[in-house]
Chain A
Amino acid sequence: MEVLEGLDLTAVQAWVAFVLTLMVFSYIFGDNPLFRLAEHIFVGTAAGYVAVLVYHTVFRPRLLEPLAQDPAGHGYLLVPLLLGLLLLAKGKRSTSWMGNITMAWLFGVGAALAVGGALLGTLASQLRSSWISLNPTDYAGRPLGLINALLLALGTIGVLLYFYYTEPAGKGAGRLLAGIRRGWGRLGRWFMLVTFGALFASAIIARFTLLVDRLHFLLQTIGLLGG
């Protein structure tokens, strides 16, 4: 440790990060050992970090210390401990069924929380947002609001019609309605294409931001940028 005392660890960390960044960037030439090495280092480091963190933030303060200090008062902690130990039985086929108890508990609680939150926080608000007025008088002075409402209605119904596969048999009005449905469905398909394009563009912006951050770091490390 005496050797490390006179060493500027910040500079070492920066250069290690610099080299690892270049190793990752080498993927532009295709898959290569340098990229693989950097990938394995990241995965291994992350796994080790998570293991230590979970011990210090979960096992020790939430399980071991309470049981050591007041076993009788924290006897209920044996239940999650037992459930956690049952997960280890998943490693062997003959005993994996025991782990299903814990898995059932996890999935049950998770599904209950997710459904409850989604109903109140997402589904209800989305339904309310879709229930809009198309009366122009309600958008007096706000023409963009009216256009937005029209596009929202056209897109929502069009997407729903696009996934309506049943073809009604009939003539006259039925045939006309079927034609309208198909046409509106095609419009809904275009709405989906535009939506997916916007999502993809957002993802590109996020990745470009990360690229800028790495370029900034590289230039800063080699001294081309100040501060």
Chain B
Amino acid sequence: MIYCPNCGTANRDGSKFCNECGQRLAGAEGVRCPMCGALNRSGSVFCTQCGSRLIAVEAPAEAPAAPPAAPAPAGEEAVPEWLAKLREAAQREVSIGEEAPAPEQHEEEAPAAGPAEELPKAPVFVIEEGEAEWVPPDWLSELRARSAGAAEEAPAAPSEPLTEAPAAPVFAAEEAVSEVPDWLQRLRAEVTAEEAPAPPPPGPIRTEAAGPSFPTEAAPVFPAGPEEIPDWLKELGPPPSEQEVIPPAAGPVPGLAVEEEELPAWLREAIGFGEAPAEAPAPAAEEELAGEIPEWIMALRPGAQEPTIEAPPEGYEGDSYTEGILAGVQGLLPIELPMAKPPAPEDTGSLLESVPAEDEAVQIFRQVMGSRPPARRMPKPSRPRIGRVRLLSALVLIAIMCLPLLTQGQWFTGIARTVPDSVYAAYEAVEEELAPNDAVVVAFDFDPSTAGEMAPLAQVLTEHLMARGARVIAVSTLPAGPQVAQDILDRAAAARGGKSYGVHYVNLGYLPGREAGMRDFLLNPVGAARRDFVRGQPAADLPALQGLQGIQDLKMLVIIGASAQDVRWWMEQAAGLARVPMIAGVSAAAEPYILPYYQGEGRLLQGVVAGVLGAGDYGALSGSLVSTARVESLQWGLLVALIAMLIVAAVSVFTPART
């Protein structure tokens, strides 16, 4: 079977194309081993199964000159006895097979070949009655002609009619491979090897000393060493049941009654005739062997001389003949072994015809597949350029903002402004709602990142609360908030004096859970806080928390947050629990979001203090000390920024847009 290399489908031997996918099968183009019958890829030198050489080594120059000792036709005297026994064994095998009929039925027809009739045990083709018109295959005709031409002593050898005498076992060229069983192919190759020394028959495999000489690749190939004897050759020996099996090293094979002198040393060693010679045979023995063994076998022997390249034939110069009937013929094509010659490819011209559109598509496909994408240079990431205008603007802004700080208001005075209603309302709420020892929860919902803005605001509010004598209870919903709150509480307590931690103010630290934590704390401040932030004391033991059970005990909720979200969460949770006065101190960025809670209907917030400016206003009302230099610096910075933005806006308006 030949397995398709494309789809794996098993195809019959000899198939040229896969019957499933149409793939050309390698077996159709391969070389069949003359020894084991295995198909090898074209151009293979050795068989992949048995190691036999597939391409013959070129015979010596004198080889074509028919040696006198070489038997002319395939006669009994030309065949060693051991080979005859091999054929006999093979014949027995064939007689059992279904494909090959018993050779005894045709023995009468075979003897016409003369010497060939002495090989009754060789397999022959059977010609049934009624098939008189059967045309012999080429290989058979070729072999017959070769036999006739090679035998000088037997010129009467039949040359034409096959029906009269299918002379000897016929071994065909590869065209008949499919017609011959495997065992016959193997034997054919074997017999062909024996006929090689004879004068080459007419035909493409003839090699002549004179005339156009072709490389002698037509010689069949046989194993070159004992390790290359195929299995079939071993199997052709007597079956173990009939003959005593003797290891090869113990001596000659009993089933092969071959004289030791008839075989070369290497072959004797291969088939078990005693010990192999330690040294190469002497030249004299070489010549003696040459008379017994065909030249091509001698050429295959280990240590045989390397093939020589023949000189160009007479009349051949360069790459063409210059005289004779071949004048003008160019090139010397080496003759191929018929068995190695791959079959001619089928005419698939009709299948390969294509229309111009397909040709164009093929061209495009080749261009696409063959062309590599152009190397695209990735733009190198450039570092952001620091524009001079940008740098100059920053330096000017910083310088102007630093001047009020440096001069402490001597050169730059603050811009006059009125106190917003929201700030005043917050101040009024603290003044009116709170009494000494009232509990006020202050949520410090900002961290160090916004402390620069929120700390002054928180400080003025805390100072005012302490000034009113309220118990300040600080918490934070941000992890970093409690430490900032503690710094502010300490400063406020120091500014007002007479305030002690745990009694007048306390820091309960971080409240996890955001809205849930806020709600939990407003419902149960002591239970939610558990411990204070500074000393870790239980919240229930702190004097500042005495009597505080829930939001109903709170007199005010002060929310100081940098984020509008945090402030809104406090307001929403507190508004849902009880009506408690609330004021908010927020960042300037959060002011637009929080102010509606003061201005709108319902007024959740009693007052709003926003940013440093609001802190300054509130400090001015409450008497707290707030750095006026910071307020003035901020005002001047904002003024410069406003002017800069107006300039940029004017430039952008009057500058034509780039296209």
- Chain A residues at the B interface, C-beta cutoff of 8 Å: 28-31, 46, 49-50, 53-54, 57-58, 61-62, 109-110, 113-114, 116-118, 120-122, 124-126, 128-129, 131, 195, 198-199, 202-216, 219, 224-225
Give, as a whole number of angstroms, the nearest-CB distance from B407 to chain A. Answer: 11
A121→B605 CA distance, assembly (Å) = 11
A-B pairs, top 10 by smallest CB distance, nearest first, are: A213-B452, A117-B572, A121-B572, A129-B600, A206-B589, A128-B601, A205-B588, A209-B453, A113-B515, A125-B602
Q: Return chain B residues, CB-CB under 8 Å to A219.
A: 402, 405-406
Query: Count the A-B residue pairs with Cβ separation under 8 angstroms: how many?
Result: 155
User: What CA separation (Å) do A114 and B569 show in the bound complex?
Assistant: 8
Known: A113-B515, A117-B576, A205-B588. A49 touches B568 (CB 8 A): no
Interface residue? B510 (CB, 8 A)? yes
B596 within 8 A of A: yes
Indicate if the CB atoms of A210 and B394 lie closer than 8 Å: no
Binds A, one of B86-94, B291-299, B631-639: B631-639
Q: Tell which of B390, B569, B592, B601 touches A199, judged by Cβ atoms closer than 8 Å.
A: B592
B351 close to A (CB within 8 Å): no
Total chain B interface residues with beta-carbon distance under 8 A: 59
Q: For the complex, is B647 an interface residue (Cβ under 8 Å from A)? A: no
Verify B589–A113 contact, CB threshold 8 A.
no
B644 to chain A, nearest CB (A): 11
B394 interface neighbour in A28, A116, A117, Cβ under 8 Å: A28
Q: Is the CB of B515 within 8 A of A117?
A: yes
Q: Is B491 located at the chain interface by the 8 A CB criterion?
A: no
Q: Which applies to chain B's interface (DSSP): helix, strand, loop or mixed?
A: helix
Structural contact, B596 and A129, CB atoms closer than 8 A: yes
Q: Which of A50, A199, A212 has most B Cβ within 10 Å?
A: A212
The answer on a CB contact under 8 Å between A209 and B588 is yes
Docked-complex contact A215 and B405, CB < 8 angstroms:
yes
Q: When the two chains form their complex, are residues A62 and B634 in contact, meaning their CB atoms are under 8 A apart?
A: no
Partner of A128 from B450, B587, B602, B638 at Cβ < 8 Å: B602
What is the bound-complex CA distance between A58 and B641, given in angstroms? Answer: 45
The distance from the CB of A127 to the nearest CB of chain B, in whole angstroms, is 9
B452, B571, B592: residue with the most chain A Cβ atoms closer than 10 Å = B452
Q: How far is the CB of B404 from chain A (nearest CB, A)?
A: 9
Nearest CB on B from A17, distance (A): 10
Given contacts A211-B398, A225-B405, 9 further A-B contacts (CB under 8 A): A129-B601, A205-B589, A208-B638, A210-B452, A212-B401, A212-B633, A215-B405, A216-B633, A219-B406
Is B219 an interface residue, CB under 8 A from the partner? no
How close is A47's CB to chain B, nearest CB, in angstroms?
10
Interface residues of B in 386-415 (CB under 8 A from A): 386, 390-391, 394, 398, 401-402, 405-406
Binding site for A on B (CB under 8 A): 383-384, 386, 390-391, 394, 398, 401-402, 405-406, 450-453, 479-480, 482, 509-510, 512, 514-516, 519, 530-531, 533, 568-569, 571-573, 575-576, 587-592, 596-597, 599-602, 604, 611-613, 627, 629-630, 633-634, 637-638, 641
Residue of A nearest to B394 (CB): A28
Q: B391: which A residues are within 8 A, CB to CB?
A: 28-29
Q: Name the distance in Å between A123's Cβ and chain B's nearest Cβ.
A: 10
Distance in angstroms from B513 CB to nearest chain A CB is 9
**Contact: B398 with A215, CB < 8 Å?**
yes
CA distance A209 to B406 in the complex (A): 16
| Nearest residue, chain A, Cβ from B633 | A212
B406 touches A225 (CB 8 A): yes
A205 engages B611 (CB within 8 Å): yes
Across the two chains, which residue of chain B brings its CB closest to A42?
B449
Does the CB pair B386–A61 fall under 8 Å? no
Chain B residues positioned under 8 Å from A209 (CB to CB): 452-453, 588, 611-612, 634
CA distance A206 to B183 in the complex (A): 103
Given contacts A128-B602, A204-B641, A121 and B571 within 8 Å (CB-CB): yes
Q: List 22 A-B contacts (CB under 8 A).
A: A53-B479, A57-B512, A57-B533, A113-B516, A117-B576, A118-B572, A121-B568, A121-B572, A202-B588, A203-B588, A203-B589, A206-B590, A210-B450, A210-B453, A211-B401, A212-B637, A213-B453, A215-B405, A216-B405, A216-B627, A216-B629, A219-B405
- Interchain CB contact under 8 A, A114 and B515: yes
Known: A30-B386, A110-B514, A208-B634. A125 touches B601 (CB 8 A): yes
Cα distance A225–B402 when bound, in Å?
A: 11
Distance (Å) between the CB of B643 and the closest chain A CB? Answer: 13
A117 to B514, CA, bound (A): 13
Shortest distance from the beta carbon of B49 to any chain A beta carbon, whole Å: 53
Given the interface pairs A31-B384, A121-B604, the reply to whether A205 lies near B638 with Cβ below 8 Å is: yes
Complexed CA–CA distance, A110 and B513 (Å)? 9
Determine which of B394, B402, B604, B627 lies in contact with A125 in the assembled complex, contact meaning CB atoms within 8 Å.
Answer: B604
List of B residues within 8 angstroms of A30 by Cβ: 383-384, 386
CB distance from B609 to the nearest CB of A (A): 13
Q: Is the CB of B576 within 8 A of A50?
A: no
Chain B residues lying within 8 Å of A202, measured Cβ to Cβ, are 588-592
* A124, A195, A211 — most chain B CB neighbours (10 Å): A211
Shortest A105–chain B CB gap in Å is: 11
Which B residue sits closest to A129, measured CB to CB?
Answer: B600
Complex formed: what's the CA distance from A121 to B384 in Å?
46
Min distance, Cβ A114 to any Cβ of chain B, angstroms: 6
Q: Which chain A residues border B451 with CB–CB below 8 Å?
A: 213
Chain A's closest residue to B595 (CB) is A202
Q: How far is the CA of A204 from the CA of B531 in the complex (A)?
A: 39
Decide: B573 and A113 in contact? CB cutoff 8 A. Answer: yes
For B402, what are the chain A residues with a Cβ–Cβ distance below 8 Å?
215, 219
Query: How far apart sit A84 and B627, CA to CA, in the bound complex (Å)?
Result: 46
